[in-house]
A and B are shown apart, each in its own frame.
Chain A
């Protein structure tokens, strides 16, 4: 067991991360601007959780095309249907996802109209595609989808706020500001990614974003922890050098942890099935952007917030 590849990874790297900060901040600014632009122009492809309406997953004979299904569903005149292939390449089944918008009406009347639309849709599928198997249906009324939007975004906000408080207690406010800017950076970049790819954004995506926030924070805290330690250890070293040293000290850990997490998530993305695809995708992107932001956003920001050096007990090392 002397074969430990980590031996070839230097304990402390020697990459001039801090010198790259202006380039990195420029890149981040570009990504964020592009994300916001895409979000404003194209918008997010909200899933049924947030949009409301009717969604049915049907397993059909392989020769049934999306166009066949579209013709049948459009003829029902229940609003503009969205029809897409479900399932990924590793699945043997041929499944199609049919979504209908919220049915018009007020209150209970609209809720009943949604249910009626679901029945009509199911009946039409059964009649036109006798081999089709219903795999699952979801009906979300207008009131519930509205609440889910509010809850989803409140959850993200509350989590950010609590982490801010925690970091503030454990470190000083300068760290707290850096960490939270990095987190907001990650959230915006993820939303931007969903605008660009038009992948479905649903409740699971909110869960993914919260986990990304947690993961990115995790990464940031590890670096900050080391910065604090090194600030006490090397009292004379200029701040940019301390920051650079700390990032390099933790670099092999950052690479290894990101790699194992990515390995696990890629298996989820490839094998986990259609329902988890969006979630896994968001997470994979989040790990990449979270790792980047801890190194290139959270740490250089400490230069701007002028972190205190003389706090804490002096070290004898």
Chain B
């Protein structure tokens, strides 16, 4: 216990040095460490910082200010859309040559039910529909083990075929919906020009968005919570939509409200989508002689331009409607064919609303509606206050513990103070080096660790005291003290570590930050107490060769 080999000594010094190196950047201003490029905000480490760690601890949103919002994807909507598109595929497949005519193809509950006109055609139809089926495409784009659909001939009704989406397929769709949503959200937030937003999956049907520095959560909710499904339709003026838009519509027609009208007006349009948002290649805020104020200009892709050219040529004098999320945002009259594949959406935009629409159109539509279910926003000033009070609490707590230990243990108190200092350096270095995030509860974890870290030292010192009273020499007593205290130290710290691990695995949001610092702190405090302070005690023994212990 008292012998430290050369390699052991070197390892201890290396660990302490590494901790110090990773802690160092946190104490040096950014402008010293980095060459910051004014033009694009990018930065390069400069001078010595090219060779040693230069990054600091990530601060949680509660410390730097910003918004944390969790959105839930409406999976019922996704399921319904999946069944509807399946029903459309079924109709199309049965219409193929030779046609097998169904009496009806309908979504009933969670199934698509096909009823054949002639019962004897059911088997043939069933065989043909099986072409629709295939293995599930997994997230990695490979075929999975399960089939996409579960198809069955109904046991009681000889004309019926029932098709349902398998759980595996729905899981795959769910995952695809989430990853698509994340891609679209990322493009939208990038369009807003926010700094380093974090967007991640959270559970089975949620997406977590973290935007540092965003004081106004509404801006993000508006941007992310809008589906931005855009489509072009021809207006059917022969149908009177009724005062509330409640009129019965013939098949193939849909009534939508017109945006920004008071009282709300309605228009009936052809349900068929001429173009969708996917045909848009680029949009921007611009001016147009026919409108007052800014308008949104858009360009169509080649195919979109052809369709749009044909439609406008053949329907001169009619109105077409641009529908965004079930609302008509504009319905201009077609005065002449538009062949260039570009156009404008105008009417009552301010510069802000026009820019927002441009971001939404350029980023594309979300595959489903997103609803905010949890939102936490901290202003930059509150974040600053929390850092300040947290740091002050660490410093004062640390000072108080040091005074206490020095008073109680004298020279051994010096050892434990140094060990405690190394401990804090290792915690901070560990957080920096592992890229962990420090939150306000994380600061509480550090303070708690400072208080509890001395426990290992106290256990050892008390043991040394006891052994020394039993008449052992100082070297013997120190040896026995460290040896015998080990079991209790390990048992005690492992139980606390269990608590930290459980918190980390089950804990939500900021509480995880507490678990992280507590967990890291337990490991470093066992190391500093058992290895580092022992080294100090041994060096002291060798240097002074004391006759008795000052305990």
Residues of chain A touching chain B, judged by Cβ–Cβ distance below 8 Å, are 1-7, 11-12, 57, 59, 91, 93, 108, 111-112, 115, 118-119, 133-141, 143-144, 148, 151, 154-155, 158-159, 162-163, 166-167, 170, 203-204, 206-207, 210-211, 213-215, 217-219, 221-222, 225-226, 249-250, 252-253, 256-257, 259-265, 267-268, 270-273, 275-276, 279-280, 283
Contacts and interface: CB of A to CB of B under 8 A. Distances in A.
Interface in B367-403: 369, 371-379, 381-382, 385-386, 389-390, 392-393, 396-398, 400-401
Contacts of A115: 218, 221, 372, 375
A195 to B, nearest CB: 22
Nearest to B412: A4
Given A203-B511, A267-B400, 11 more contacts: A111-B373, A139-B374, A140-B374, A141-B372, A151-B507, A222-B459, A225-B488, A256-B458, A259-B404, A265-B451, A276-B390
A260 B375 contact: no
A62 B183 CA distance: 46
Nearest to B467: A11
Contacts of B440: 273, 275-276
Interface stretch (B30-38, B41-49, B234-242, B491-499): B491-499
Given A6-B408, A138-B376, A215 B389 contact: no
The CB with the most chain B CB atoms within 10 A, among A138, A204, A264, A272, is that of A264
A2 B499 CA distance: 39
B411 interface: yes
The CB with the most chain B CB atoms within 10 A, among A12, A154, A158, A214, is that of A214
Contacts of A170: 491
B511 A206 contact: yes
A4 B407 CA distance: 6
Nearest to B389: A273
Contact of A138 (B215, B375, B397, B499): B375
A163 to B, nearest CB: 5
B372 A139 contact: yes
A4 B413 contact: yes
Contacts of A167: 495
B441 A271 contact: no
Contacts of A93: 385
Contact of A4 (B373, B408, B450, B452): B408
Interface in B155-189: none
A191 to B, nearest CB: 17
The CB with the most chain A CB atoms within 10 A, among B381, B385, B508, B511, is that of B511
B512 to A, nearest CB: 9
B373 A144 contact: yes
Nearest to B514: A207
Contact of A276 (B215, B444, B518): B444
B198 to A, nearest CB: 18
B459 A214 contact: no
Given A4-B409, A261-B451, A263-B400, A159 B499 contact: yes
Contacts of B401: 260, 263-264
B506 interface: yes
B455 interface: yes
B509 interface: yes
B408 A256 contact: yes
A8 to B, nearest CB: 10
B410 to A, nearest CB: 3
Interface of B: 62, 70, 72, 74, 215, 217-218, 221, 369, 371-379, 381-382, 385-386, 389-390, 392-393, 396-398, 400-401, 404-405, 407-414, 440-441, 443-444, 447-448, 450-452, 454-455, 458-459, 461-462, 465-466, 469, 487-488, 491-500, 502-503, 506-511, 514-515, 518, 550-551
Contacts of A218: 452, 455, 492-493, 495-496
The CB with the most chain A CB atoms within 10 A, among B74, B410, B444, B497, is that of B444
A57 B382 contact: yes
A200 B259 CA distance: 45
A283 B452 CA distance: 12
12 contacts: A2-B550, A4-B413, A163-B495, A207-B503, A211-B448, A217-B495, A222-B492, A252-B462, A253-B462, A256-B408, A271-B396, A283-B448
Contact of B507 (A143, A207, A250): A207
Given A111-B373, A207-B514, A264 B448 contact: yes
A93 B452 CA distance: 32
A147 to B, nearest CB: 8
Contact of B381 (A135, A260, A261): A135
Contacts of A11: 462, 465-466, 469
A95 to B, nearest CB: 9
A259 B444 CA distance: 17
Contact of A204 (B400, B491, B511): B511
B458 A257 contact: yes
Contacts of B458: 253, 256-257, 260
Contacts of B405: 260
A218 B456 CA distance: 11
Given A163-B495, A203-B510, A225-B488, A136 B378 contact: yes
Contacts of A6: 408-409, 461, 465, 551
A214 B410 contact: no
B499 A213 contact: yes
B371 A108 contact: yes
Contacts of B404: 259-260, 263
B379 A133 contact: yes
A222 B488 contact: yes
Nearest to A219: B492
Nearest to A162: B498
Contacts of B494: 166
Nearest to A95: B382
A210 B299 CA distance: 58
Given A137-B217, A203-B510, A267-B396, A210 B499 contact: yes
Contacts of A207: 441, 503, 507, 511, 514-515
Nearest to B452: A261
Contacts of A260: 401, 404-405, 451, 454-455, 458
A108 B410 contact: no
A241 to B, nearest CB: 18
Nearest to B392: A271
Contacts of B373: 111, 141, 143-144
B491 to A, nearest CB: 4
Nearest to A203: B511
Contact of A203 (B408, B454, B508): B508
A272 B446 CA distance: 12
Contact of B441 (A108, A204, A261): A204
Contact of A215 (B381, B450, B496): B496
